């Protein structure tokens, strides 16, 4: 009968658990940066509407950093899906500013090394990268085709022509008359006819490639733009193969004596 009191005495008085320390607020994640450093440098340094390049050396370095990022960084820059997205998205606005700034750099002549750097970056954006590759249709939507065609006609630069060729390939067929009106074919023809010492064979081949792409899509529109007569006179051995491929698309129309009446709404024959 005395076992229970002895057990209670051995257990001693009941003790309360120590109070828990107050909960600390969780460490917040650092806020996500809207732009990567490379993207922000381009937004900050590329020329605006006035075309002024405030710091050419810093801009050239930013262009080179952009090229490195395009090769090795999967998320360094973001492009809007369309022009409509630019109005409601800050990142999209940044992409538009970068693209327009690059074209302004290419168009100016006061800083030739900046022009070369901008050309290289635009080319890399068009052809390299996975998630960061520039959708060619944005060049059309942002109204930059005419600027690039004018630059191609003035410089006969292979890289500009390659970008334009990519634009043609990515655009719907119904867009071709608009591209031609912007000076696409004339830019390519002026390149293959350019006698400037700085115009290389690769530049001329790039011009022929643009013409070949147009001929594949719509030989009638290429014929109406005078491609046949200006290409058939080419005698440069390095360009004969591509010249012959272009003529193979156009010669059947010429031999059949087709007169073309090209309109943006379609192609009709008379």
Nearest to 222, CA basis, from 178, 177, 156, 191: 177
**For position 10, what pLDDT does the model report?**
55
| 255 and 142 in a common domain | yes
- The whole-number pLDDT of residue 118 equals 93
Tell me, yes or no, whether 21 lies in a domain: no
> Does 244 lie in the same domain as 124?
no
233 lies in which domain range?
Answer: 135-270
The total domain count for the chain is 2
What local confidence, expressed as pLDDT, does residue 205 receive?
Answer: 93
Residue 18 falls inside a structural domain: no
Residues 6 or more apart in contact with residue 76 via CB below 8 angstroms:
36, 38, 39, 66, 69, 70, 132
CATH number of the domain where residue 158 is located: 1.25.40
Mark whether 184 and 91 lie in a shared domain: no
Rounded Cα gap, residues 107 and 153, in angstroms: 11
Average pLDDT, the chain: 84
132, 150, 168 - which closes a domain: 132
> What is the tens place of the pLDDT at every residue in 13-43?
667 778 888 877 777 765 667 778 889 999 9
Same domain assignment for residues 42 and 118 = yes
* Same-domain status, 258 and 176: yes
> What would the two tokens of residue 129 be?
């990268």
Asked whether residue 9 is assigned to any structural domain, the reply reads no
Whether 26 is in a domain gets the answer no
Question: What tokens appear for 80 in the block?
Answer: 């809007």
Contact assessment for residue 186 and residue 223, using Cβ atoms and an 8 Å cutoff: no
Regarding whether 146 and 117 lie in a shared domain, the answer is no
| Whole-number Å distance between alpha carbons of 121 and 75 | 16
Other C-beta atoms closer than 10 Å to the C-beta of 26 total 6
Query: CA-to-CA distance for 185 and 204, rounded, in angstroms?
Result: 13
Same structural domain, 141 and 64: no
Do 145 and 248 lie in a common domain? Answer: yes
Instruction: Among 98, 132, 166, identify where a domain stops.
Output: 132
| Final residue in a domain of this structure, among 106, 132, 158 | 132
Same-domain pairing of 143 and 261: yes
Rounded to 10 deg, the angle between the 56-72 and 112-127 helix axes is 20
Residues 56 and 187 in one domain: no
pLDDT, tens only, 82-117 = 888 777 778 778 888 898 999 999 988 889 999 999
Question: Is the pTM here over 0.85, yes or no?
Answer: no
Do 108 and 153 lie in a common domain?
A: no
Q: What is the pLDDT of residue 5?
A: 58
Query: Reduced to 3 states, what is the DSSP secondary structure of residue 268?
Result: strand
Using only the alpha carbons of the chain, give its radius of gyration: 31
Any domain includes 12: no
| Predicted pLDDT of residue 262 | 44
pLDDT at 268: 41
Mean pLDDT comparison of 89-98, 140-149, 254-263, highest-scoring range:
140-149
Intra-chain end-to-end CA distance of the chain, in Å: 124
Q: What is the DSSP letter of 262?
A: E
Q: Do both 119 and 141 map to the same domain?
A: no
Residue 263 domain-assigned (yes or no)? yes
Smallest CA-to-CA distance from 189 within 145, 157, 226 is with: 226
Contact of 221 with 180, CB cutoff 8 Å:
yes
């Amino acid at each position: 009968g005395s076992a229970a009191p002895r057990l209670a005495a051995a257990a001693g008085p009941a003790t309360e658990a120590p109070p828990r320390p107050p909960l600390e607020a969780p460490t917040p994640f650092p806020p996500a940066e809207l732009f990567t450093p490379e993207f922000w440098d381009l937004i900050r340094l590329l020329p605006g509407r006035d075309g002024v390049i405030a710091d050419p050396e810093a801009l050239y370095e930013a262009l080179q950093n952009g090229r490195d990022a395009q090769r090795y960084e999967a998320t360094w820059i973001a492009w809007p899906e369309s022009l409509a997205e630019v109005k409601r998205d800050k990142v999209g606005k940044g992409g538009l500013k970068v693209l327009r700034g690059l074209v302004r750099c290419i168009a100016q002549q006061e800083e030739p090394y900046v022009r070369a750097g901008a050309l290289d970056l635009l080319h890399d954006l068009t052809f390299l990268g996975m998630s960061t590759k520039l959708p060619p249709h944005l060049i059309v939507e942002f109204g930059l085709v005419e600027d690039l065609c004018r630059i191609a006609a003035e410089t006969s630069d292979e890289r500009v022509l390659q970008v334009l060729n990519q634009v043609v390939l990515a655009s719907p067929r119904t867009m071709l008359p608009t591209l031609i009106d912007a000076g696409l074919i004339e830019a390519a023809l002026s390149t293959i006819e350019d006698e400037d010492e700085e115009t290389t064979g690769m530049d001329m081949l790039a011009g022929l490639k643009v013409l070949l792409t147009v001929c594949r899509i719509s030989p009638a529109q290429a014929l109406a733009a005078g491609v046949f007569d200006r290409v058939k006179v080419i005698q440069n051995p390095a360009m004969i193969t591509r010249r012959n491929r272009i003529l193979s698309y156009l010669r059947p129309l010429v031999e059949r004596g087709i007169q073309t009446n090209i309109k943006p709404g379609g192609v009709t024959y008379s």
